[in-house]
Structure 1
Amino acid sequence: MIKEFEIRADYNRDTIVIYQAYNETIAKSAIMNQKFSAPFSFNRMTWIKPSFLWMMERSNYGQKPGQECTLAVYIKREAWEKALSKAVLTSPEKRVYPNPGSWEKEFRKAEVHVQWDPERNIKGSKLAYRSIQVGISRYLIEEFNEEWIVKIEDYTPLVKKILNFARLGEYDKAKKLLPNEKVYPLPTELAHTIGATI
């Protein structure tokens, strides 16, 4: 049974894939250098998402201005879990913060934000369970860029193929091209920190 709050991702023993969408200038530079560089902003929060279909919803399959290119960023699992351990939810969920005052203090100084949004299916419809997105603050972005990233792949051609099948109503063909995402295992304490269903 699918739990309401759990991480689903494409991962192996060492890495987890997260998705981001950028304009062509930022994306081409990232693919060529295998890290981000200007005009990528190191002065504001960057959001990373392990759900491919949630990224597709956010970027409208690369149709939104400035989000034409989809990148699959492979980061170290220990770095991913480090980020989660520093995370504070973007709202004072009672299941995590019985005292709203303590959430407010933690949120103000948080280096990482976590938000749970309704997961999407191939047609873009909301599902009954959630998908995580993680905001890396400017205090950690340099570390994310220099130490966490293992490789960056261009998924833009894949996104276009999936979109073309979807537009033709050939959803079964589109689904076969989706990344293989499975439930990501979390230690109990880490699950509690981010409000995941245990």
Structure 2
Amino acid sequence: MTIPIRQIRAVYDDNTIRVYQAYNNAIADSALANGTFVSPPFKMERMTWIKPSFLWMMYRSGWGKKDNGQNRILALDVSREGFEWALNNSLLSHQAKEFKDKEAWLKIKKATPVRIQWDPERDLDLTPLEHRAIQIGITNEAVDLYVNQWIKQVTDVTELAAKVKSLVDSNQYSQATSLLPIELPYLLSQETANKIGAE
């Protein structure tokens, strides 16, 4: 079965959808203790990127080994209502190319709290695939909503990442695949799909 080029795939149920982020020990421990991010150590004023794809998170963080700032992988179950609010209040990063007037683009960008990027999905070797994975960058009011309303549960999946990586390193691909979170296509309204360029 051919996977559409731009499609959201995720672990989700009727109420929540799972996204991933990688942080240092201080932020991860604080989030796990409090059930959401707390500032400090989390910085509310920075743009934060959430990713529904486990393997794209592994690529971005180097399986949690890239650097000390990304050595803990967190799975965050966020409300579907919040997730869809983010999509509907977003701007596609690549739309910048469509603007000849840079000032106009910066004004729209500043007024839009969510940025969407579609980057090549990855396989177990972290090789880029034809189809894309969504990255959602949230800033300003969206960060406040994410931290204070959307996040329902925080789980540390650093150990899972290490297990999968160790199986990949020993060429045990079927066992590694069996440990991966089961990410299914996430259905969107036509309006939302159009907004974010999904198929």
TM-score between both structures, scaled by the size of structure 2: 0.92
1:80 match: secondary structure: helix
Distance 2:133 2:108 in 1: 22
Query: What is the identity percentage for the equivalent residue pairs of Structure 1 and Structure 2?
Result: 42
Q: 1:36-80, CA deviations, whole angstroms, 9 ceiling, x for partnerless residues? A: 122111111000000000000000000011111100000000100
Give the distance between the partners of 1:117 and 1:124, measured in 2 at CA.
12
Match of 1:133 in 2: 135
Matches within 5 A, 1:12-161: 12-37=13-38, 38-65=40-67, 66-92=69-95, 104=105, 105-161=107-163
What's the CA shift string for 1:137-187, capped at 9, x where partnerless?
032212211100110001011111111111111111111100010100000
Structure 1's 187 and 151: CA in aligned 2 closer, same or farther, altered over 3 A?
A: same
Alpha-carbon shift at residue 81 of structure 1 (Å): 0.2
Change (3 A) 1:93 1:181: farther
Structure 2 counterpart SS, 1:91: helix
Deviation of 1:188 after TM superposition, in Å, equals 0.4
Mapped partners of 1:100, 1:46: distance in 2: 27
SS in structure 2 at match of 1:92? helix
Question: In structure 2, how many angstroms separate the alpha carbons of the residues matched to 1:27 and 1:117?
Answer: 25
Q: Distance in 2 between matches of 1:100 and 1:161?
A: 48
The change in CA–CA distance for 1:188 and 1:26 in structure 2 (over 3 A counts) is: same
Contact 1:111 1:137 in 2 (8 A): yes
Q: Where in structure 2 are there 5+ consecutive unaligned residues?
A: none
Letter in 2 for 1:34: G
Distance 2:64 2:116 in 1: 23
TM-score (norm. length: structure 1): 0.93
Partners of 2:109 and 2:128 in 1: CA distance: 27
- Aligned to 2:94, what secondary structure does the other structure show? coil
**Could you tell me how far apart the structure 1 residues matched to 2:181 and 2:71 are?**
19
Give, in whole Å, the separation in 2 of the partners of 1:75 and 1:115: 19
* Structure 1: gaps of 5 or more residues: none
Partner of 2:184: 182
CA distance, structure 2, for counterparts of residue 26 and residue 53 of structure 1: 22
